[in-house]
Amino acid sequence: MALQLAIQALAASLSPAPNKPTKPPSPSNGHQQPQEPIITSRSRRLAIVGTALMASHLLPPATGSAGAFDLRLTVPEQSSEEAEAVVRTDARNLVRVRDLIDARSWRELQASLRASAANLKQDLYAIINAKPASQRPELRRLYSDLFNSVTRLDYAARDKDELQVKEYYGNMVAAIDQIFAKIM
């Protein structure tokens, strides 16, 4: 029902604007002046985006759609206990990209790096927010250093720069070790 309402709203926003009375044609050229639209293209775009957002919340979750743009809301934050249970596994997966570096599989390295880093980032964020306020600034700095190294490693892999890849991999591993020394 709600999906039908969203589609009706979209159809209404895209329907042609009602005609305003026009001026009589000017005697000089015999053509009518173009009518000014009542609904602007900007308001139509806003209506389309709004309707798409509403419809996306009503659709079942997309599974296995690689590269799909997911507009659904995210699940509330992960608890620190849940994060602590899997953070070591996620860190281990991130460190395991070493095999891809040695094989010089740059695209696979980037894909694996992005997948592993996303999970680790979420877990570490939950753990850091659960720590006392006095410890958070140092942990946030280490967190920032870690994911800056991950980003630089990703860029170096994109550029196929083996020396930089190895350097940033070393920085990433060192940052993981420092974070785990503080949080565990």
Residue range of the domain that includes 156: 80-183
Of the ranges 34-48, 119-133, 147-161, the best mean pLDDT one: 147-161
What pLDDT is stored for residue 136 in this prediction? 92
Which of 18-32, 108-122, 143-157 shows the lowest per-residue confidence on average (mean pLDDT)? 18-32
Asked if residue 21 belongs to a domain, the reply is no
Asked if residue 163 belongs to a domain, the reply is yes
Asked if residue 98 belongs to a domain, the reply is yes
Which of 11-15, 94-98, 137-141, 174-178 shows the lowest per-residue confidence on average (mean pLDDT)? 11-15
What pLDDT is stored for residue 71 in this prediction? 44
If asked whether residues 3 and 90 sit together in one domain, one would say no
Higher pLDDT, 15 or 160: 160
Domain tally for the chain? 2
Asked if residue 170 belongs to a domain, the reply is yes
Report the pLDDT averaged over residues 142-165.
94
Distances (CA, A) of 74 to 7, 119, 122, 147: 24, 14, 12, 21
End-to-end CA separation in angstroms for the chain: 50
Element (H, E) at 8: helix 2-14
Mean pLDDT, the chain, integer = 76
**pLDDT tens-digit profile of 96-141?**
999 999 999 999 999 999 998 988 998 898 889 889 999 999 999 9
d(CA 58, CA 36): 35
If asked whether residues 112 and 179 sit together in one domain, one would say yes
If asked whether residues 122 and 49 sit together in one domain, one would say no
Token pair in block for residue 153: 């490693």
Q: Are 82 and 122 in contact (CB under 8 A)?
A: no
If asked whether residues 162 and 100 sit together in one domain, one would say yes
Report the pLDDT averaged over residues 21-38.
55
| pLDDT surpassing 70 at residue 8 | no
- We report the CATH number of the domain holding residue 118 as 1.20.120.290
Asked if residue 69 belongs to a domain, the reply is no
If asked whether residues 129 and 95 sit together in one domain, one would say yes
The rounded percent of the chain whose pLDDT value lies above 70 is: 56
Higher pLDDT, 19 or 74: 19
If asked whether residues 49 and 104 sit together in one domain, one would say no
What pLDDT is stored for residue 81 in this prediction? 72
The rounded percent of the chain whose pLDDT value lies above 90 is: 41
Token pair in block for residue 138: 């140092």
